[in-house]
């Protein structure tokens, strides 16, 4: 028997598990099912619900298996491995008793509870509970607490498992939830019922094993068994978190996280989770054309004919500009059409961005990967605030900081990231001399085995963007972050569609205009693929063809509106910031007459008589895969595979001293894209957040 | 325990520790290693409560949190967990009335009525801000039940009258000394001592000069044999109940004294110091009824009886034979006088093993 293994006999079956296992893990290894409420794999062990009791033969009392470390158990007196029973009268009786106690103060209001149907307490009461209660006294009642616009509380249902308390303190890093008073009066609350300020607060809803914390926007909307569940990919940030879209009829009713260990573990940011009401508001559901200065509904035929007219002019006066949420298929079709028309003016980047034009993929993806943070020993963040740009990843950085002793340094705005870091500077000017500094972090960073340099996409936008990239790259090389088994340099994007667009090559060709040039009004026709976040105020006489799904900035400028499907309404390819190619799934039908983006350009190509060579999305993807092999590896992040490309020293960075300090990537975490801006829930969150940031002496 | 919430209105929006509290704060913070200052949260909350007229307001709690660099919710948890932190205003004199079983049995419920009458409802403050009260669990002064704690001090052995008087005085600004309110010293018996009252205990006249029984020169007649010493059964008598000695008379060393012959009146053997009712019965069973018999015991007889009664050396130490001689001659001993006066309950306490 190896030193770090321990033998056990569980339900008559001999098994060997690492000594660090808890008894619960060992029982699961042996194939036994252990009920639990307070225990959660990603949180610390509390051991307070007592639901996971098992029998240890010879022990005077049942054992809470979640809190018992296997290595600390002792052998039977005759030297044989300890016998554990997870079944049988003894264990059943113990669980029975625990269940009865838990239900003493639990209101049996399942018929009106949103958790009904997916409630741990309900399920476990069915499986392990008694038929009735012997408790004849009054139940206690607890006042509901305000936790903000996202989390609805019905605290009488709470069984005090403290999962939410531990999540807020450990994962989210905001110590805002706690258990006050004690014994019978114990209550879960935020401090004086202030709203939660975490970007991850919605996860407490998933964690709550009962109906105490439920989704406020989803309240009383649907029952879990009525929902059609479709696994998909989130596009609210560039992480590409795995989600499940729950829909009823044509409406998305809620969005839940799905486990993807490599990307989002099992968390989801509030924006990704609560965006869904924005998918039903301000939608473009039919084509429009502008007539006498006013938009009026039109048929597809008319709208496409009008678009063809606008695209009929000189090719060098036509531009294609993509926004943050555009899927790969649409970009590919648009790009192919642009090529057929003959224009070289294509862009997908924010105005002023210089990166990505050379086509070296490693220079615009997050090479160390999101999961790589758990192997890193030092992290340098440049011009990025992962707490709002990739909230779930920020929790993972926090995890590494908490458990792996990861050291973090920041060049940029000194914001609260939920973990300690050393602030090394505020702008590009601090980059060249960074490694010659004598601070504690720089020392650790230079000695680190796996240092990681992450630069925010926003830091690369502006006059010296490419120089900032080069300077950061140089720091990574100098610190030894690039080797055969570790590519510790990457870009953290904040737009879901960006990496895919760069992979498609949606950048200006030789002599073509870039974003800034296209937006300055020199074109006859600009085809906007989403792109509401671009500054459209200087377009002048440029005619705008807007392909998008929300009636916002872009649509208001448009001469023709071609409505397309949003990310929940199509099977579409997105590439996340790591370069991981992933696909969304169609959960509901596109709104009204809206069509999938690629199909619009395919139809348009017919009208302008430059037919594209594919008739279905699958055929288009076939072409994509042939042209760029990265699209062949679905779900795969290249990681260190591309270290060779990073080995080469970058061009010397220039003019960094004069460059502006790094700012925030966006003003408001909750309002970064047209879907979010259409969402009432996000608007409430935004109001709440702004309300909190204005100084309040005492409420 | 009822729901406890901060009184936000009365708490105002600011709090500052008194300057004279700062050294105490520094003392508490200094007790813990660098970076573990959070451990001082309870002492600091306590100090904040003292500096805030006996209750912990929300700004006071925040002041503690800020000082310890703790999230407010963590301090809030502690402040609401311990009922000694009061989240609502209290009077200048806050009465904590113990209502736990011993006090309840000794009349705490009557004291509650006094508080209700003189102060009002629980946790209500009188209009003059002088008094408030609450019921608490055991304060650990059960021997002086019923009792209350007023601010930092215990007021014990209360009656509705004495508590009423205390409250009246405090209400009128008169200080009341803490302690017991009946005729007793601390937890000593009411009305003075009931035991160890014999003045002879203190001037040495009580028992003459005592000799330590286990010294080699003491009581040579009962010098135990080495092997007998090792027997656990022969351990010195204790106060705990023992089983009746089951002794085989033939095995006892020494000579069995002769039983009473003829028809003589029995003496009250309990007048001998060291003989209680139980020993008397046992002696009677041996046929020993009179002082004369005991006065006539030889050292061998004494040894035998000690063996029979399982208290080696005691008859010699207590000088039963000498006492019996005196009593048989019609004289009195110190002890017999007290017995005759009824001062000794049946006999000496230690006689009733």
- Give residues with Cβ within 8 angstroms of A28, minimum separation 6: A34
Statement: the pTM of the whole predicted model exceeds 0.80? yes
Best of A144, A160, A191 to disrupt the B interface by mutation (most B CBs within 10 Å)?
A191
What is the C-alpha separation between A213 and A152, in angstroms, rounded? 6
pLDDT tens figures, A410-435? 999 999 999 999 999 998 989 988 99
Residue A628, both tokens:
């760029």
Confidence tier at B349 by pLDDT (50, 70, 90): very low
Following DSSP, what letter does each residue of A325-383 receive, concatenated?
S--HHHHHHHHHHHHHHT--EEE-SPTTB-TTTT--GGGTSBTT-SGGGGT-SEEEEES
User: Rounded to a whole number, what is the distance in Å from the CA of B14 to chain A's nearest CA?
Assistant: 9
CA distance B73 to chain A (A): 5
Pairing of strands A543-548, A525-529: parallel
Do the Cβ atoms of A178 and B59 come within 8 Å? no
Reported as a pLDDT band with limits 50, 70 and 90, residue B267 is confident
Token pair listed for A616: 């279905």
| B248 pLDDT higher than 80 | no
Count how many pairs of residues, chain A against chain B, have C-beta atoms within 8 Å. 42
pLDDT surpasses 70 at B225: no
Q: Residue A278: which of A683, A687, A691, A698 has the closest Cα?
A: A683
pLDDT digits (tens, 9 = 90+) for B162-208: 999 999 999 999 999 999 999 998 899 888 888 888 887 777 777 66
Q: Residue A382's pLDDT band (boundaries 50, 70, 90)?
A: very high
Query: For strand A151-153 and strand A213-215, is the pairing parallel, antiparallel, or unpaired?
Result: antiparallel
pLDDT tens digits, residue range A320-334? 999 999 999 999 999
CA distance A528 to A332: 14
Residue of B nearest to A185 (CA): B3
pLDDT above 70 coverage of chain A, percent = 99
- Residue A628 to residue A506: CA distance in whole angstroms: 13
Task: Give residue-wise pLDDT tens across range B203-219.
Answer: 777 766 666 777 776 55
CA of A179 vs chain B CAs: smallest distance (Å): 6
Residue B2: predicted pLDDT? 66
> Shortest CA distance to A404 belongs to which of A439, A379, A428, A431?
A379
Q: Torsion angle of alpha carbons B308, B312, B318, B321, nearest 10°?
A: 50
Burial class (CB in 10 A: 0-12, 13-18, 19+), B224: middle
> How sure is the predictor about B246, in pLDDT bands with cuts at 50, 70 and 90?
low
Residue A134 confidence class, pLDDT cut points 50, 70, 90: very high
Per residue in A505-527, pLDDT tens?
999 998 899 999 999 988 999 99
Nearest residue to A15 via CA among A60, A57, A63, A70: A70
Q: Are B181 and B162 in contact (CB under 8 A)?
A: yes
A178 near B CB under 8 A: yes
Q: What are the DSSP E strand ranges found in A551-657?
A: 560-563, 573-575, 581-583
Per-residue confidence (pLDDT) for residue B346, from 0 to 100: 52
pLDDT greater than 60 at residue B242: no
Sequence-distant (≥ 6) Cβ neighbours of residue B282 within 8 angstroms = B308, B309
CATH code: domain B93-180 is 3.40.30.10
Percent of chain A scoring above 90 in pLDDT: 83
For residue B146, whether the previous peptide bond is cis, meaning omega lies within 30 degrees of 0, is yes
Which site among B77, B79, B86, B137 would you substitute to test the A interface, given the most A Cβ atoms closer than 10 Å to its Cβ? Answer: B77
- pLDDT per residue as tens digits for the range A441-468: 999 999 999 999 999 999 998 888 889 9
Phi-psi region of B110 (alpha: psi -120 to 50; beta: other; left: phi over 0): alpha
Contacts of B1 in chain A (CB under 8 A): 181, 183-185
Least CB-CB distance to A180: which of B1, B13, B76? B76
What pLDDT score was predicted for residue A679?
95
Is A697 within 8 Å of chain B by CB? yes
Query: pLDDT tens, A611-643?
Result: 999 999 999 999 999 999 999 989 999 888 888
Instruction: Tell me the DSSP string of B98-132.
Output: E-SHHHHHTTHHHHHHHHHHHT-STTPPPTTS-EE
Cross-chain Cβ contact B81/A181 below 8 Å: yes
Whole-number pLDDT of residue B271:
84
- Residue A652 is classified by DSSP as P
Nearest CA distance, A446 vs chain B (angstrom): 27
In this prediction, residues A200-226 reach a mean pLDDT of: 95
The whole-number pLDDT of residue B247 equals 56
Reply yes or no on whether the pLDDT at A182 is more than 50.
yes
Q: Write down how long chain A is.
A: 699
Chain A residues lying within 8 Å of B3, measured CB to CB: 181, 185
Contact (CB<8Å) A175/B71: yes
Interface predicted TM-score (ipTM): 0.89
User: What pairs with residue A291 in β-bridges?
Assistant: A294
Q: Name which of B75, B80, B86, B87 to mutate to probe chain A: the one with the most chain A Cβ atoms within 10 A of its Cβ.
A: B80
Tens digits of residue pLDDT in A278-303: 999 999 999 999 999 999 999 999 99
Question: Which residue in this structure is represented by tokens 């990861």?
Answer: A406
pLDDT recorded at residue A133: 87
Q: Please state, in angstroms and rounded to a whole number, the distance separating the CA atoms of residues A144 and B17.
A: 34
Test mutation, A147, A420, A698, chain B, max B CBs within 10 A: A698
Tokens of B25: 């704060």
Q: Cα(A58)–Cα(B28) distance, rounded to whole angstroms?
A: 45
The predicted structure's pLDDT at residue A693: 64
Cα–Cα distance between A319 and A321 in angstroms, integer? 6
pLDDT of B4 > 90? The answer is no
A32-46, A344-358, B236-250: range with lowest mean pLDDT: B236-250
Of the candidates A176, A181, A182, which has its C-beta nearest B73's C-beta?
A176
Q: So what's the pLDDT on residue B308? A: 80
Lowest mean pLDDT among A72-76, A514-518, A653-657, B261-265: B261-265
Q: What is the rounded CA–CA span in Å between residue A512 and residue A514?
A: 7
pLDDT at residue number B129? 93
**Which residues in chain A are closer than 8 Å to B6, comparing Cβ atoms?**
192
Statement: residue B43 has pLDDT above 70: yes
CATH code for residues B19-81: 1.10.10
Q: In chain B, which residue's Cα lies nearest the Cα of A176?
A: B73
Q: What is the DSSP letter of A695?
A: -
Residues facing A245 on adjacent strands? A230, A255
Between B244 and B38, residue with greater pLDDT = B38
B220 Cβ partners below 8 Å, 6+ apart?
none
Q: Does A416 touch chain B (CB under 8 A)?
A: no
For chain A, the 3-state helix, strand and coil shares in percent, each to the nearest 5, are 35, 20, 50
Inter-chain residue contact B74 with A175, CB threshold 8 Å: yes
What average pLDDT does the structure give for chain A? Answer: 92
* Residue ranges covered by each domain of chain B: 19-81, 93-180, 269-347
Q: Which among B228, B209, B211 has a CA at the least distance from the CA of B220?
A: B211
Q: What is the DSSP string of A1-33?
A: --TTEEEEEETTEEEEEETTSBHHHHHHHTT--
The CA distance from A178 to the nearest CA of chain B, in Å, is 6
Please give the Cα distance from A596 to A565 (Å, whole number): 5
Cβ–Cβ below 8 Å for B73 and A190:
yes
Distance CA A285, CA B45 (A): 61
CA distance A121 to A105: 13
Q: Is the pLDDT of residue B298 over 90?
A: no
Partners of A176 on chain B (C-beta within 8 Å) are 71, 73
| A695–B contact, CB cutoff 8 A | no
What would the DSSP string read from start to end of A137-163?
SPPP--------SSEEE-GGG-----H
* pLDDT higher than 50, residue B226: no
Q: What residues have CB less than 8 Å from A413, skipping those under 6 apart?
A: A385, A426, A661, A662, A663, A664
């Amino acid at each position: 028997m190896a030193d770090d293994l321990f033998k056990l006999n569980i339900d008559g079956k001999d098994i060997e598990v690492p000594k660090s296992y808890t008894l619960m893990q060992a029982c699961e290894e042996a194939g036994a099912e252990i009920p639990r409420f307070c225990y959660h794999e990603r949180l610390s062990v509390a051991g307070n619900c007592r639901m996971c009791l098992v029998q240890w033969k010879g022990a005077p009392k049942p054992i809470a298996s979640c809190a018992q470390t296997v290595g600390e158990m002792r052998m039977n007196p005759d030297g044989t491995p300890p016998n554990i029973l997870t079944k049988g009268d003894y264990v059943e009786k113990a669980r029975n008793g625990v269940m009865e106690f838990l239900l003493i103060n639990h209101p049996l209001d399942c018929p009106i509870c949103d958790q009904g149907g997916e409630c741990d307490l309900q399920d476990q009461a069915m499986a392990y509970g008694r038929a009735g209660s012997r408790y004849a006294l009054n139940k206690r009642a607890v006042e509901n607490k305000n936790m903000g616009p996202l989390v609805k509380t019905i605290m009488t249902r709470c069984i005090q498992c403290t999962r939410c308390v531990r999540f807020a303190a450990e994962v989210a890093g905001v110590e805002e939830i706690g258990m006050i008073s004690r014994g019978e009066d114990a209550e879960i609350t935020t401090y004086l019922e202030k709203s939660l300020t975490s970007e991850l607060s919605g996860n407490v809803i998933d964690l709550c094993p009962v109906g105490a914390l439920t989704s406020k926007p989803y309240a009383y909307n649907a029952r879990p068994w009525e929902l059609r569940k479709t696994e998909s990919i989130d596009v609210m940030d560039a992480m590409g978190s795995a989600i499940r879209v729950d829909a009823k009829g044509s409406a998305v009713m809620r969005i839940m996280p799905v486990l993807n260990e490599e990307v989002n573990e099992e968390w989801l940011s509030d924006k990704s989770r609560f965006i869904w009401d924005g998918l039903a508001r301000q939608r473009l559901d039919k084509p429009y054309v502008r007539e006498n200065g006013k938009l009026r509904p039109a048929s597809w035929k008319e709208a496409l004919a009008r678009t063809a007219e606008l695209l009929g002019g000189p090719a060098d006066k036509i531009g294609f500009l993509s926004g943050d949420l555009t899927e790969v298929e649409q970009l590919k079709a648009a790009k192919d059409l642009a090529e057929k028309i003959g224009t070289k003016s294509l862009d997908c980047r924010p105005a002023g961005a210089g990166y990505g034009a050379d086509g070296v993929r490693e220079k615009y993806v997050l090479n160390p990967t999101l999961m790589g943070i758990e192997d890193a020993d030092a992290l340098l963040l440049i011009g990025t605030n992962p707490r709002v740009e990739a909230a779930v990843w920020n929790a993972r950085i926090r995890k590494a900081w908490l458990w792996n002793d990861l050291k973090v340094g920041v060049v940029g705005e000194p914001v609260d990231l939920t973990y300690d870091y050393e602030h090394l500077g505020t702008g590009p000017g601090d980059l060249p001399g960074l490694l010659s500094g004598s601070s504690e972090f720089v020392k650790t960073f230079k000695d680190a085995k796996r240092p990681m340099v992450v630069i925010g996409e926003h830091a690369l936008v502006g006059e010296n963007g490419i120089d900032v990239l080069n300077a950061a790259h140089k720091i990574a090389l100098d610190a030894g972050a690039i080797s055969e088994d570790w590519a510790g340099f990457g870009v953290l994007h904040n737009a879901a569609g960006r990496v895919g667009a760069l992979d498609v090559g949606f950048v200006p060709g030789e002599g073509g205009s870039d974003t800034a040039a296209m937006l300055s009004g020199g074109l006859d026709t600009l085809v906007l693929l989403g792109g509401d976040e671009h500054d459209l105020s200087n377009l002048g006489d440029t005619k705008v063809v807007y392909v998008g799904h929300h009636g916002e900035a872009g649509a208001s400028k448009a001469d023709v509106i071609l409505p397309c499907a949003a990310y929940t309404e199509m099977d579409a390819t997105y590439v996340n910031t790591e370069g991981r190619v992933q696909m969304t799934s169609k959960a509901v039908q596109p709104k009204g007459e809206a069509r999938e983006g690629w199909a619009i350009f395919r139809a348009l190509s017919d009208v302008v008589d430059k037919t594209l060579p594919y008739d279905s999305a699958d055929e288009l993807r076939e072409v994509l895969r042939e042209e760029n092999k990265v699209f062949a590896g679905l779900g795969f992040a290249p990681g260190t595979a591309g270290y060779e490309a990073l080995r080469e020293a970058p061009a010397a960075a220039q003019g960094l001293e004069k460059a502006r300090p790094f700012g925030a990537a966006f003003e408001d975490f909750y309002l970064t894209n047209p879907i979010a801006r259409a969402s009432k829930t996000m608007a409430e969150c935004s109001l709440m957040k702004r309300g909190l940031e204005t100084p309040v002496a005492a409420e | 325990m009822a729901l406890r919430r901060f009184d936000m209105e009365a708490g105002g929006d600011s709090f500052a520790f008194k300057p004279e509290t700062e050294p105490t704060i520094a003392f508490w913070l200094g007790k813990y290693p660098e970076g573990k200052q959070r451990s001082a949260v309870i002492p600091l909350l306590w100090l904040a409560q003292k500096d805030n007229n006996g209750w912990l307001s929300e700004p006071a709690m925040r002041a503690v949190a800020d000082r310890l660099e703790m999230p407010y919710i963590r301090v809030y948890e502690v402040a609401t967990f311990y009922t000694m932190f009061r989240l609502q205003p209290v009077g200048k004199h806050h009465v904590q009335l113990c209502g736990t079983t011993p006090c309840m049995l000794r009349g705490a419920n009557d004291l509650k009525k006094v508080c209700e009458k003189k102060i009002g409802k629980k946790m209500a403050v009188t209009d003059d801000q002088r008094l408030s009260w609450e019921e608490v669990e055991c304060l650990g002064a059960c021997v002086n039940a019923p009792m209350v704690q007023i601010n930092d001090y215990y007021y014990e052995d209360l009656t509705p009258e004495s508590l009423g008087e205390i409250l009246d005085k405090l209400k009128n600004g008169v200080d009341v000394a803490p302690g017991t309110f009946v005729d007793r010293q601390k937890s000593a018996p009411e009305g003075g001592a009931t035991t160890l009252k014999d003045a002879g205990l203190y001037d040495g006249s009580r028992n003459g000069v005592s000799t330590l029984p286990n010294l080699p020169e003491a009581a040579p007649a009962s010098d135990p044999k080495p092997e007998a010493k090792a027997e656990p059964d022969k351990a010195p008598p204790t106060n705990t109940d023992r089983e009746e000695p089951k002794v085989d008379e033939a095995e006892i060393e020494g000579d069995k004294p002769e039983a009473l012959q003829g028809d003589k009146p029995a003496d009250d053997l309990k007048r001998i110091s060291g003989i209680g009712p139980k020993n008397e019965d046992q002696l009677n069973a041996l046929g020993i009824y009179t002082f004369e018999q005991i006065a006539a015991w030889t050292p061998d007889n004494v040894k035998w009886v000690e063996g029979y009664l399982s208290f080696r050396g005691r008859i010699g130490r207590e000088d039963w034979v000498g006492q019996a001689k005196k009593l048989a001659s019609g004289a009195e001993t110190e002890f017999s006088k007290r017995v005759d006066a009824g001062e000794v309950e049946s006999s000496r306490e230690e006689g009733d093993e």
